[in-house]
Amino acid sequence: MNQPTATRKHTALPKARILIEALPWLTRHHGKTVVVKFGGNAMVDDELKAAFAQDIVFLRHAGLRPVVVHGGGPQISAQLDRHGLVSEFKAGLRVTTDDAMDVVRMVLAGQVQRELVGLLNRHGPLAVGMTGEDAHLMSATKHFAEIDGEQVDIGRVGQITEIDTGAVRALLDDGRIPVVSSIARSADDFDEGGHVYNVNADTAAAALAVALGAETLMVLTDVEGLYADWPHSDEVISKLTASQLEKLLPELASGMVPKMEGCLYAVRHGVTTARVLDGRVPHSILLEIFTDEGIGTMVLPDGTAIEDNDKGARGDEGEDQ
């Protein structure tokens, strides 16, 4: 009779330790806003998406204010393909014709966002989906890609000019979880209304994190973090400062460009840490936050001490050093 009780107590100890490890983090971040970008490449299967939703709901119940910005690049490409439209990227951004824009909007707002809202709301009436068009959340003008010093027209790709955080803040104050699709309303004078722009989701997440005065930006993708010498090596850079990242930017390729530019912009404009995490690892958000090990790449503002092999410093996010 006594034996099973003793065994139960014993096996519960590591779980209790994990919760205790999280206590300082929870205390410090209570009430803080965290923007989490869920990349299309990280939405590998239903189990991972459900685990992502659980992590976000956990953050919300732990007293944080999570905001989700989602991607959907591969999902858009698949749908364009079904419509017989080709996917072309320049400087990491999708060349977006007017026809492609309809598909982008349909997939992001009508498919990916709806699925995430549904998964989050399995846990209660928490998530509310919106795009940058709603309540003027994101306004944008036409963005030209810079390639070899030239400004290249890549269609209906937008550059965010203004963010009105009113609706997102109201939802957060109401205990909801905003789920944002990276489509912006046009702020161009020649557009008489109704026109929208396709904004890279990493860029949108970083801009929203800054506008909300978020504590943390987390970017979930399909690699372990920022590789030092991609594609030749899989050595992940675990921590780097804004200046160190700035020096690396010209060497980065494809989807990592807007991702790391976004992280740099965020930490240069008041966000305390920006992290790139492997979204293919189930519960990567909770692992990063609630254990001392930490995974992925952390970008810190300049002037923050980076102590290698200091696991405690990871958990503490470096602010207090």
Residue stretches of the annotated binding site for substrate = 72-73, 94, 198
Under the binding rule (CB under 6 A), the answer on residue 198 touching ligand X2W is yes
Task: State the residue for tokens 């396709």.
Answer: 198
Select the residue interacting with ligand ADP from 39, 132, 155, 315 (CB under 6 A). Answer: 39
Q: Which residues contact 313 (CB under 8 A, 6 or more apart)?
A: 305, 307, 321
Q: Looking at residue 94, what DSSP letter applies?
A: E
- Please check whether residue 157 is in contact with residue 94, taking contact to mean a CB–CB distance below 8 angstroms: yes
Nearer to ligand ADP, 240 or 252 (CB): 252
Q: Among ligand X2W, ligand ADP, none, what does residue 185 contact (CB within 5–8 Å per kind)?
A: none
Alpha carbon 140 to chain centroid, angstroms? 19
Select the residue interacting with ligand X2W from 22, 48, 93, 206 (CB under 6 A). Answer: 93
Under the binding rule (CB under 6 A), the answer on residue 155 touching ligand ADP is no
**Which residues, numbered 32-51, are part of the site for ligand X2W (CB under 6 A)?**
39-41
Nearer to ligand X2W, 281 or 306 (CB): 281
Task: Tell the smallest beta-carbon distance from residue 197 to ligand X2W (Å).
Answer: 8
* Coil, helix or strand at residue 131: strand
Task: Tell the smallest beta-carbon distance from residue 31 to ligand ADP (Å).
Answer: 28
Under the binding rule (CB under 6 A), the answer on residue 256 touching ligand ADP is yes
Under the binding rule (CB under 6 A), the answer on residue 116 touching ligand X2W is no
x-or-dash string of contact with ligand ADP, 195-234, rule CB under 6 A: -------x------------------xxx--xx--x----
Residue 202: name the closest of 287, 276, 106, 110 by CA.
276
Q: Among ligand ADP, ligand X2W, none, what does residue 76 contact (CB within 5–8 Å per kind)?
A: ligand X2W
Under the binding rule (CB under 6 A), the answer on residue 71 touching ligand X2W is yes
Segment (H or E) for 34 = strand 33-38
* Coil, helix or strand at residue 32: coil
Task: State the residue for tokens 């991702």.
Answer: 259
Q: With helix as H, strand as E and coil as C, how does 133-176 read?
A: CHHHCEEEEEEEEEECCEEEEEEEEEEEEEECCHHHHHHHHCCC
Under the binding rule (CB under 6 A), the answer on residue 294 touching ligand ADP is no
Task: Tell the smallest beta-carbon distance from residue 101 to ligand X2W (Å).
Answer: 9
Q: How far apart are CA 188 and CA 52, in angstroms?
A: 36
Q: Looking at residue 236, what DSSP letter applies?
A: B
Q: Which stretch binds ligand ADP (CB under 6 A): 107-115, 159-167, 184-192, 247-255?
A: 247-255
Under the binding rule (CB under 6 A), the answer on residue 93 touching ligand ADP is no
